[in-house]
Every structure is written in structure tokens, then in C-alpha cells.
């Protein structure tokens, strides 16, 4: 396995936190100073493979890092996201969550506009309520 998160000695030198379930470290391509990644210690590719304990550990580490980053880099807000699957932009086959500390005056997208953020430029008219209800019904029927 050639996973940069599992095998890169540089990452091991910059680990902020690591235990049996999760780890966090600064990304080498930060959007803003303090941009960190959280990932399970175990090599898995997507959220479906997380155990309940790993999921809870990730949640708890997000909360700790938000508190720490608020102090360390004067963060006023956060973008928290992950890409899952190649078609969604996942370039490393190890699940990782981006924690991007934000403050007024940052460059890049700080006003969240989903079509810009998710690479879907242009406007789209609001969907009719009947279409939204049909989609909701279809998804509800397919919940396991």
C-alpha cells in the first residue's frame, strides 16, 4: 500500500494528535494557515467503512481542533468537508476531513455558495415544490 497518510515520514513529523482511532495533521497544501486533516488511523477510503467508535472519535477531534484553532490562528469560523470518491474529487484513497479555519479577509471562497464551492458554476432556478416532494419520497422509500 502506498498511502501518503499511512507511510509519509513527513506527515509523521507534523502529527498534531494520534491515537488508535484517529489522527490529525496540517495539510501540505493549506487553503489558510492552520488547515488540518483528520483521518482514521486505520486505512479506509470512505465513511461507510468507519466503525461507530471511529466516527465518534472523528467528531470529538473536530470539536477539539476547532477550539484549538480558534486560539492558535484566531479562527472565526470553519469550513469542514470531505470528498468521497474520485468523481467527487477524492485524490487520496484514505478518508480525510478538511478543517479549514476562516476569518474575515481570507482569500478564496469564504461566502459559501454551493454551486461555486462544488464546481457547478452558473445559476439554477428554484425547483418546484412537487419535484422536491417527489425526490424526498423516493429517498425516504430507499432508506435502509
- Angle of CA points 2, 24, 57, to nearest 5°: 110
CA dist 121 and 72 (Å) reads 34
Helices (H) and strands (E) in the chain, counts: 5, 5
Q: Is 98 a catalytic residue?
A: no
Task: Tell me the CA distances in angstroms from 5 to 48, 110, 144, one per residue in order.
Answer: 19, 27, 32
Q: Please provide the DSSP assignment of 94-125 as one string.
A: S--EEEEEE-TT-SS--S--HHHHTT--S--P
Out of 35, 43, 94, 96, the active site residue is: 96
Task: Report the catalytic residues.
Answer: 96
Amino acid at each position: 500500500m502506498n498511502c501518503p497518510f499511512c507511510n509519509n515520514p513527513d506527515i509523521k513529523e507534523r502529527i498534531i494528535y494520534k491515537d488508535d482511532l484517529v489522527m490529525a495533521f496540517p495539510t501540505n497544501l493549506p487553503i489558510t494557515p492552520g488547515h488540518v486533516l483528520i483521518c482514521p488511523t486505520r486505512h479506509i477510503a470512505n465513511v461507510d467503512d468507519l466503525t461507530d467508535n471511529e466516527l465518534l472519535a472523528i467528531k470529538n477531534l473536530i470539536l477539539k481542533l476547532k477550539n484549538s484553532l480558534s486560539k492558535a490562528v484566531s479562527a472565526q469560523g470553519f469550513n469542514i468537508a470531505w470528498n468521497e470518491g474520485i468523481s467527487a474529487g477524492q485524490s487520496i484513497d484514505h478518508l480525510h476531513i478538511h478543517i479549514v479555519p476562516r476569518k474575515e479577509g481570507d482569500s478564496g471562497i469564504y461566502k459559501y455558495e454551493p454551486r461555486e464551492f462544488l464546481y457547478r458554476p452558473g445559476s439554477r432556478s428554484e425547483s418546484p415544490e412537487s419535484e422536491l416532494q417527489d425526490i424526498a419520497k423516493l429517498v425516504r422509500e430507499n432508506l435502509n
